Structure 1
Amino acid sequence: DLLVGLGADQVIDYKTENFVDILDEVDLVLDTMGGEIQNESFRVLKPITGRMISIVGLANEEVRKQYDVEFESIWLDPNGEELAEIANLMSAGKVKSIIGAQFPLTQKGIYDAHELSETHHAIGKIVIVAE
């Protein structure tokens, strides 16, 4: 429901469906998982013009070479101009940040937030709140 509300045309339940069986000829994959999910994602990209951008690391070169697609790994660097641009997009309602869980700035709060993050099942951002 959340993804449809954000404008998704199609939603795949990774618990019951394998995206490789459903998707093909995809223009762009934004990889936020890495590992085997990243390796499998190459299979759904459109040959020649397909592109994968990963925010979690480099691709396995042996796997990447099997597919005629572009791959780029990016890492976020502090950049005030880009941060201001993102803030403007959020103010204009063009970008939404979904807060999925909030935890207090305590030892237990940090522990609980980290535990949720490690599940890779958090919906939205995990926020630490200083009270």
Structure 2
Amino acid sequence: MVDYRKKDFWDVFTDIDLVFDTMGGDVQTNSFKVLKENGRLISIVSAPDENLAKEKGILAKSIWLQPNGEQLSKLGEYLATSKLRSVIGATFPLNREGIYKAHELSETHHAVGKIVIQGE
């Protein structure tokens, strides 16, 4: 884990096989720096720079999921078999203050992991 306020992730990590980009922009561009040759960058935000990918010898693609039962079933299967894991970064209570705090954290765009609102 890297504290983004103190260090840039591209100065810490090298030779990464896969980056799953959920931020886009500069985060996506700098993700190319950490991937090893023949690495993969998959984005759910925006199409990666094809020229940069070719220059670095990286497979870079974007994916878009349509809300349908088949895809949701497949994602459920991945979760059940631990092929896909969700990292919970912060949990807040289901009340006015909790909702406000969760929203404030979300608006920073620097939350690590998922923000969970938990009922009592």
Q: 1:63 to 1:22 in 2, by over 3 A?
A: same
Once the two structures are overlaid, the 10-residue window that deviates more, 81-90 or 37-46, is: 81-90
From the two aligned structures, give the one with the greater strand fraction.
2
Corresponding residue of 2:64: 75
The answer to whether the aligner puts 1:12 opposite 2:2 as a matched pair is yes
Corresponding residue of 1:35: 25
Q: 1:19 to 1:76 in 2, by over 3 A?
A: same
Q: 1:68 to 1:112 in 2, by over 3 A?
A: same
Q: For 1:46, which of 36, 48, 55 is the aligned residue?
A: 36
Work out the number of aligned pairs and report it: 117
TM-score in terms of structure 1 length: 0.64
TM-score in terms of structure 2 length: 0.69
- CA-based RMSD of the aligned residues comes to 3.2
- State how 1:1-131 maps to structure 2 within 5 Å: 11-47=1-37, 49-90=38-79, 94=82, 96-97=85-86, 98=88, 100-101=90-91, 115-126=104-115
Rounded to whole Å, the distance in 1 between the matches of 2:24 and 2:57 is: 19
Corresponding residue of 1:4: none
Any gaps of 5 or more consecutive residues in structure 2?
none
